[in-house]
Structure 1
Amino acid sequence: MHALSRRAALLAALAATASPWVAAQPWPTKPLKIIVGFPPGSSPDITARTFSEPLSKALGQPVIVENKVGAGGNIGADAVAKATDDHTIGLMINGNMTIAKLLNPTVPFDPLKDFAPLSLVGTSPLVLTAPVSQPDVPATASAKEFFEAARKAGDKWSYGTPGVGTVGHIGTELLKARSHINPVHVPYPGYPQVATAMLGGQLQMAMIPPALAQAQARAGKLRMIGVTSSGRSSLAPDVPSLAEAGIQDFSLEIWNAFAAPASMPAAIQARLSALISDITRSEEVRGKLFQQGWNTVGSSAEGLANRIKADTRALGRVIAERGIKVE
């Protein structure tokens, strides 16, 4: 019994010293990679690059942004979920972290199981926009007149989004139900391509981020019909809400967030979560994100996890009600 006690004491001593030793191992040992599922110049890409320099300074290693484009961001999200090097994270959007699996059971990752939430970076409404020059909508048309024209057009109109299952897609389907319009969905790689298609006359409407909408509106190329927030937004204070345009009980936000593979060690997750949260709330980055069209958050990992669950429920209801499926 005495020998067994001594052995147990030795094992306990080793266990007690193992944890600090593991925690003391150097990390990062190589550059940190941020995967973005959308093209260079897109909103998620610009956000990721905003964080690359301050993260690099904090970690003492280069931070590389890698674009893996396609499937509404799901190709990039899958790459994040499957990364095993403990030096890869993702700048993610709502759809990839919430309803991807509800839309398509064959998606090769599970948003609720395969990601470790790090921090919610920013939130934003979208802005319903349309080309300034449309044959069936006068340039001086009000929001009410715009919707009347859309109802008459039926499925002769098209709307664009950054892909199937993105919030722009789900949100426009909800808008179709609330406003009794019926434009056809056309997916694109990202919001810049959606805006270009509107300017070229291939699309008659789209929900796009405020910064992009305002830039095109200032150039006289797109008109802003209304923001998708429940009231007016500080990101676009001069634009009426869709409620003011007669679309009641309509509220929609996009957001972006950092996530890691679920397999990443908890200590590294915690360090990255704290760093990203602090960087998000810094005056410099907060200002840059606002200029990009984001209300900054900088949440804890738990705060992001709660937002994921809430949005999965809310957007999941729209998917079920509208019968939305992968095209």
Structure 2
Amino acid sequence: MTSLYQIARRTVLTASSALVAAAATTSVFASPSADTWPTRPVRIVVGFPGGSSPDLTARTFSEPLSKILGQPVIVENKVGAGGNIGATEVARASDNHTIGLMINGNMTIAKILNPATTYDPLKDLAPLTLIGVSPLVLTAPLEQPGVAKDADAKAFFAAAKQAGDKWSYGTPGVGTIGHLGTELLKTRSGIAPVHVPYSGYPQVATAMMGGQLQMALLPPALAMAQAQAGKLRLIGVTSSGRSALAPGVPSLAEAGVSNFDLQIWNAFAAPYAMPEAIRTKLAGILVEIARTPQVRQKLFQQGWQTVGTSPEGLANRIKKDTEELSKLIKEQKISNQ
């Protein structure tokens, strides 16, 4: 005959087993293994509007990524603050199914430019892979006082030095790579044009054509299109060597600007809280996609030279750019608060 003690003991053991099983189940849902991931649709958050360069890149990856993962991949645009609203969304995500397509600033100097930024790029975002890089192109009006029509890059810089702060340059805003890049160029070349911010690169190009600006760093696609239309002149690319994205355009190093290598880039990042095994799996898949001929061609048409690095490779790029640009920001007292 079963005693009351035995019945009570069985009840306790059964309850304990149920609790252990529940805890194990909760653990599986909270931290899925890389083998079973993903278990639902994956989000790619983009901090820029539809049709923008980051948006196009994210959508280039969404379809092949969906096929490999066997789950829908949805691109969501969280627009504002130069991409930092989208970056914040990624940094705070805890569902293990959210990643982001970022530009340079979102993963390097965002908090240095504005301490009020609600995420820390170096602590809250985990690098996955550097997707594409591109130089900017130093561009100028076809005609401007003190510069001959057939002036080469060296003659252009000589005229810029002579003009000092009587010249001005345009950018899409304070703290953008066009702004920081030109300030870095000033320290490397000895020129001193004054910064004039605009709402975007097309507006900068229009101002140059109208004679309101004497120079600007523009994306290759825009610079090449305006030059081919006979509306602007191309001085040089900001990469250390020539670029296939701007055929025939010399590097600024050829014009005598030493120790200057500036590129814009985009990359995939995950929340730092995402399990490392899942991040590693995802990074490998994204690199595999980036290196396919079809995706490389699409990225080139969008204005990118494909890279497709390991997470460590992207982390090294972030470290290098953060160190160089943060020093410039502090020295020049640049802030977008």
TM-score of Structure 1 vs Structure 2, range by shorter chain? 0.7 to 0.9
Amino acid at match of 1:150: A
Residue 283 (str. 1) matches residue 297 (str. 2): no
- What is the Cα deviation at residue 281 of structure 1? 0.7
Larger radius of gyration: 2
Residue 130 (str. 1) matches residue 140 (str. 2): yes
* CA separation of 1:153 and 1:85: change in aligned 2, threshold 3 A: farther
Picking from 266, 277, 288, the partner of 1:256 is 266
2:239 counterpart residue number: 229
Name the CA distance, whole Å, in 1 between partners of 2:93 and 2:211.
Answer: 40
Q: Deviations over 1:86-142 (max 9, x none)?
A: 333221112221122222222211110010111110122221112334455444332
- What is the Cα deviation at residue 240 of structure 1? 1.0
TM-score, structure 1 as length reference: 0.83
Name the CA distance, whole Å, in 1 between partners of 2:234 and 2:55.
Answer: 24
Q: Deviations over 1:215-246 (max 9, x none)?
A: 22222222210011222223324111112222
2:8 counterpart residue number: none
Amino acid at match of 2:170: G
Name the CA distance, whole Å, in 2 between partners of 1:161 and 1:46.
Answer: 22
* CA separation of 1:309 and 1:184: change in aligned 2, threshold 3 A: same
Picking from 145, 168, 180, the partner of 2:190 is 180
1:27 counterpart residue number: 38
1:316 counterpart residue number: 326
2:110 counterpart residue number: 100
Residue 48 (str. 1) matches residue 58 (str. 2): yes
* CA separation of 1:53 and 1:188: change in aligned 2, threshold 3 A: farther
Name the CA distance, whole Å, in 2 between partners of 1:122 and 1:162.
Answer: 21
Q: Which runs of 5+ in 2 are unaligned?
A: 1-15
Fraction of identical pairs, as percent:
69
Preserved CA contact (<8 Å) 1:90 1:260: yes
Preserved CA contact (<8 Å) 2:38 2:71: no
Preserved CA contact (<8 Å) 1:69 1:189: no
SS at match of 1:177: helix
Preserved CA contact (<8 Å) 2:169 2:213: yes
Residue 120 (str. 1) matches residue 130 (str. 2): yes
> Which shifted more, 70-79 or 251-260?
70-79
Structure 1 residues 1-327: aligned runs within 5 Å: 22-23=32-33, 27-30=38-41, 32-134=42-144, 137-188=147-198, 190-326=200-336
Q: Which runs of 5+ in 1 are unaligned?
A: 1-6
- What is the Cα deviation at residue 193 of structure 1? 4.5
Preserved CA contact (<8 Å) 1:37 1:77: yes
Amino acid at match of 1:305: A
Name the CA distance, whole Å, in 2 between partners of 1:144 and 1:47.
Answer: 36
* CA separation of 1:290 and 1:173: change in aligned 2, threshold 3 A: same
* CA separation of 1:282 and 1:190: change in aligned 2, threshold 3 A: farther
* CA separation of 1:139 and 1:91: change in aligned 2, threshold 3 A: farther
Preserved CA contact (<8 Å) 1:41 1:192: no
Name the CA distance, whole Å, in 2 between partners of 1:163 and 1:28.
Answer: 41
SS at match of 1:86: coil
